[in-house]
Amino acid sequence: MNSLTNGLLLDSEHWTQMEADIKAKAPEEACGIVLGEGNHARLVIPVTNILHSPTRFRMEPKEQLSAFLMAEEKKLDILAVYHSHPHGINQPSATDYKELTFPGIIYLIWYSRDGEWNCRGYLMNIRLDTGEVPVIISEK
């Protein structure tokens, strides 16, 4: 059984790092990769959205490759991809399903309500039977 079905464990610094990236890039969608072990995040890597769009993202290929190589070098797994829905829904969109690149990992969807950013996690796969999973924040 995939340990990601139990959710993603983030240190508070990882949450803060993603939130800062999301806020800095708004109103465009921000995106990035979360590396770790089991279901515990160890590293957050912001990646440039080459579409510069408020409704879609595509990771800059060289930055994405660099993140993959870093995962290999540090013997970490790709646990999650995060991206924001600056004016959108708090769950995967039809476009997210259509452009699903990494089935079997958690997609962290950041969304804004009344100026406050929050995040929900979804274990996505190509069969479209996505399940929400907990995003657990721990203090170091």
The catalytic residue positions are: 29
Cα dihedral 109→78→30→95 (10° resolution):
-60
CB proximity list for 122: less than 8 A, separation 6 or greater: 91, 92, 106, 107, 109, 130, 131, 132, 133
Handedness of CA 2, 96, 11, 132 (dihedral sign): negative
Q: Distance (Å, rounded) from C-alpha 14 to C-alpha 117?
A: 14
Q: Distance (Å, rounded) from C-alpha 23 to C-alpha 25?
A: 6
**Residue type for position 132:** E
